[in-house]
Every structure is written in C-alpha cells, then in structure tokens.
Amino acid sequence: MIKLENITKTYKNDKLSVEVLKGISLDIEDGEMVAIMGPSGSGKSTLMNIIGCLDVPTSGIYLLSNQEIQKKSSRQLAIIRNRELGFIFQKYNLIPQLTAEENVEMPLIYRGMATRERIKRTREALDRVGLSHRIKHRPAELSGGEQQRVAIARALAAEPRVLLADEPTGNLDTKTGEEIMAVFQELNDQCMTLVLVTHDGDIAQHCKRLIRIQDGIIIGDSKVESRIKARGVLAELNLAKAVVS
Ligand SMILES: Nc1ncnc2c1ncn2[C@@H]1O[C@H](COP(=O)(O)OP(=O)(O)O)[C@@H](O)[C@H]1O
Ligand SMILES: [Mg+2]
C-alpha cells in the first residue's frame, strides 16, 4: 500500500542546500506494524511527512494505494490524507477548550458528517482506546497517556487505512509509553496498518518490523524477532470487564 522508490529530499535556502533523504526505497504492505528508528536528525520526520503526503520529495516515486502522489494537486492530496491516513504526533495536538469527545468529533464535523453517525463513530473510537469513561474531560483533566489516546481516537474516527505516528511516546514515561504501544498492538491485531517513528529501541521492539535510518539512508530492515507484547490499559480494562460479567 506504501511504495517508495529512490526518494530524496533536499532542503534549500539561499546559501545552503542540505540533502536529508538520500535515496529511500521501501514497501509497506497492509497489516504491517513498522517502526522507523534512527538518531535525532537522521531524517525520520522528513520521511514520515513524505509518507503522510504533508511534504513532497525532491525526486523519486511515491505510490500510496497505487496512486502516484507527485502527480496530485494539493487539493487531491488533502482528500487522500483525509481518506487514507491518520496522524498521531508527539504533542497530541488536542484543542484545550474541547472535551475528549469534541476533539474526536472535530474532523468529522469538517467532513460534514451527519450528527448521529458522528456521535456513533466518536463513541466507538473512544471505546477502542479504552476511554469511554473520560469523554467529557478536557485535555488538562487527562494524563499524558490519556491525551495521546484521545489523539489516537481522533485519528481512528476517520477510519483511515494506515496510522502514522511520529514519536508518539516521546512525551511519555516508560510505563505510559508501553500503554500506548498496547493500544497500537491491539489496533494492529484488528488489521490496522501502523507506521511509527521512534528513537527508542524498546518502543521499536513492540513492532513487527524495524527499519533503521541513518543520515538519510536505510541501514537496516528486518523482522522483529521475539517482539515485546505490551501489557496495557486495554488488557486491564478487558480483564475488569471479564471479572464483572
Ligand atoms: N524545513 C527544513 N528546512 C531545512 N532543514 C530541515 C527542515 N526540516 C528538517 N531539516 C533538517 O533535516 C534533518 C533531518 O530532520 P528530521 O527529519 O526532522 O530528523 P529526525 O526526525 O530524524 O530527528 C535535520 O538536520 C534538520 O535540521
Ligand atoms: Mg523527528
């Protein structure tokens, strides 16, 4: 579903020209859970922005669901982003004045979705991340991990084909990061494709495939052997449900 062929990206200003990506070729299939790992400044976010159609490569070919991305207008790209991709960022990017529910609902309002469908999708998405009991809370009333789960629910509500997450655990402590990885693993078990960027080796070990990038080139691409299975909030919630019923 994601196919990159010899992608380069050069940032230019009047004096300087910096080649950040130096020929990246990569295939990611439906249902994969991929970590892109590399040191700070290695080009991870640049690559992620290209995969997310938020930025265009300087050269190379990018096919997303068999569509040649570089041939699309910015309007067409906006539609592709909307339909195919969900984004999760390190800083959650929630709107502080809105409740969890309203944050998740917001992109659906922009889509012009009818109220009933919107509420249904919003509730389902919050349920999938184990936050049904927090829907009326504002971001400031939620922990960092809960805020990130709201952000994941917001991405899920649009029913994307793939979730792209750039350092999704970067602001979280180890235990909370593990909870977020538990949510991602559960979503992947339900067939969601996930690509996440991290500089944290432990986080990467929760994925099925690990791509290493350094100085703008891929230096490793392998299956994760003995993958870590995260024990997170969802498992605990399901356990609690099982005990009650
Ligand atoms: N818009 C930009 N203009 C110029 N240089 C940039 C821009 N964005 C990123 N860079 C440079 O590209 C390199 C890679 O950045 P980035 O992709 O953000 O790395 P990472 O996410 O791996 O830390 C860095 O040296 C950074 O300074
Ligand atoms: Mg980055």
Which domains, from first to last, does the chain contain?
2-90+162-244 (3.40.50.300)
Structure confidence at residue 89 (pLDDT): 95
pLDDT band at 10 (very low <50, low <70, confident <90, very high): very high
CB-based contacts of 67, cutoff 8 Å, min separation 6: 80
Structure confidence at residue 24 (pLDDT): 98
Structure confidence at residue 231 (pLDDT): 80
The minimum-distance atom of ligand 1 relative to the CA of 216 is 14
Structure confidence at residue 229 (pLDDT): 93
Identify the residue whose C-alpha is closest to ligand 1 atom 26.
41
For ligand 2, an ion, list residues with CB under 5 A: 44-45
Tokens of 209: 């495939």
pLDDT tens digits for range 151-200: 999 999 999 999 999 999 999 999 999 999 999 999 999 999 999 999 99
CB-based contacts of 3, cutoff 8 Å, min separation 6: 26, 27, 28, 61, 62, 63, 64
Tokens of 104: 């998740």
pLDDT band at 238 (very low <50, low <70, confident <90, very high): low
Q: What percent of the chain has pLDDT over 70?
A: 94
| In the predicted structure, residue 245 carries a pLDDT above the cut 60 | no
CA of 69 to the centre of ligand 1 (A): 21
Ligand nearest to the CA of 44: 1
Tokens of 144: 């960092």
This prediction has a pTM of: 0.93
Angle at 2 between CA 200 and CA 163, to 5 degrees: 50
Averaged over 126-137, what is the pLDDT? 95
The minimum-distance atom of ligand 1 relative to the CA of 48 is 17
| In the predicted structure, residue 239 carries a pLDDT above the cut 80 | no
Chain centre to alpha carbon of residue 33? 10
Identify the residue whose C-alpha is closest to ligand 1 atom 25.
41
Cβ < 6 A, ligand 1 pocket:
11, 18, 20, 38, 40-46
pLDDT tens digits for range 43-54: 999 999 999 999
Ligand nearest to the CA of 40: 1
| In the predicted structure, residue 235 carries a pLDDT above the cut 80 | no
Between the alpha carbon of residue 181 and those of residues 44, 45, 79, 229, the distances in Å are 19, 19, 28, 9
pLDDT band at 228 (very low <50, low <70, confident <90, very high): very high
